[in-house]
């Protein structure tokens, strides 16, 4: 299982040095994600994707649950009033699957326009010009990576870790 570590760094140079040190510590480039405000150029740094910046994953998960429940309820209501006993469970299953798919799709589209709620605590620091570095590492490496960054970059600071990272992004 992996954990996501958060580090706030003051500038691009410090972020580049940190990324290089993490690469030397065997952290893959694709497991690092950088977020900064729009005025900062992140050329050559592993910029966070839409999945890390937005609430697509949360929207997808919520939409699946809510859409599935609505589809299930709608299937039972139609079965009750239309007496579709010949279709039975297949109709309800179809409504459940359709509701799940539509709910997930609509909610993920909405979530793509919403900033990631997990990053809300970092918004003011990013707006001030600091750079957020997210690093996904195995549980066994969390303390080693945190020590490495804190030791080599006292100008930055560790902002903790997420208990587990989503498997989807």
Q: Do both 16 and 60 map to the same domain? A: no
In a domain? residue 85: yes
Question: What's residue 98's pLDDT?
Answer: 95
CATH code of the domain containing 156:
3.30.70.120
- Top mean-pLDDT range of 5-9, 15-19, 67-71, 160-164: 67-71
Residue 30, phi then psi, degrees to nearest 5 = -70, -10
- Top mean-pLDDT range of 39-43, 114-118, 133-137: 133-137
**90 Cβ partners below 8 Å, 6+ apart?**
none
**Per-residue pLDDT tens over the stretch 50-105:** 888 888 888 899 999 999 999 999 988 888 777 766 677 788 899 999 999 999 99
Can you give the C-alpha Rg of the chain in angstroms?
22
**36 Cβ partners below 8 Å, 6+ apart?**
12, 42, 126, 129, 130, 131, 132
Give the residue from 39, 60, 46, 45 showing the smallest Cα distance to 116: 60
Domain limits for position 92: 56-111
In a domain? residue 23: yes
In a domain? residue 168: no
Question: What's residue 168's pLDDT?
Answer: 47
pTM for this model (two decimals): 0.73
Average pLDDT, the chain: 85
Q: Is the pLDDT of residue 169 over 70?
A: no
Question: What's residue 99's pLDDT?
Answer: 94
Structural domain total, the chain: 2
Beta bridge partners of 137: 3
Three-class DSSP category at 138: strand
Yes or no: say if 158 and 6 are a contact pair by the CB < 8 Å rule: yes
Question: What's residue 164's pLDDT?
Answer: 61
User: Which of these three, 89, 111, 133, is where a domain ends?
Assistant: 111
Q: Do both 106 and 23 map to the same domain? A: no
Instruction: Please report the DSSP string for 29-92 in residue order.
Output: GGGEEEE--TTS--TTS-B--HHHHBSHHHHHHHHHHHHHHHHHHHHHHHHHHHT-TTTTHHHH
Percent of the chain residues topping a pLDDT of 90: 20
In a domain? residue 169: no
- Top mean-pLDDT range of 1-5, 67-71, 124-128, 155-159: 67-71
């Amino acid at each position: 299982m992996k954990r996501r570590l958060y580090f706030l760094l003051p500038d691009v140079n410090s972020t580049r040095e940190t990324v290089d040190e993490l690469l030397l510590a065997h952290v893959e480039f694709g497991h690092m994600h950088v977020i900064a405000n729009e005025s900062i150029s992140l050329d050559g740094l592993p910029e966070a994707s839409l999945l890390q910046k937005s609430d697509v994953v949360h929207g997808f998960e919520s939409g699946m649950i809510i859409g599935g429940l609505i589809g299930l309820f709608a299937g039972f209501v139609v079965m009750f009033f239309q007496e579709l006993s010949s279709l039975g469970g297949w109709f309800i299953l179809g409504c459940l699957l359709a509701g799940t798919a539509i709910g997930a799709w609509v909610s993920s589209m909405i979530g793509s326009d919403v900033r990631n709620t997990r990053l809300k605590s970092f918004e003011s620091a990013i707006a001030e010009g600091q750079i957020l570095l997210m690093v996904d590492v195995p549980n066994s490496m969390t303390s080693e990576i945190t020590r490495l960054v804190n030791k080599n970059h006292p100008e930055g600071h560790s902002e903790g870790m997420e208990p587990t990272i989503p498997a989807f992004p």
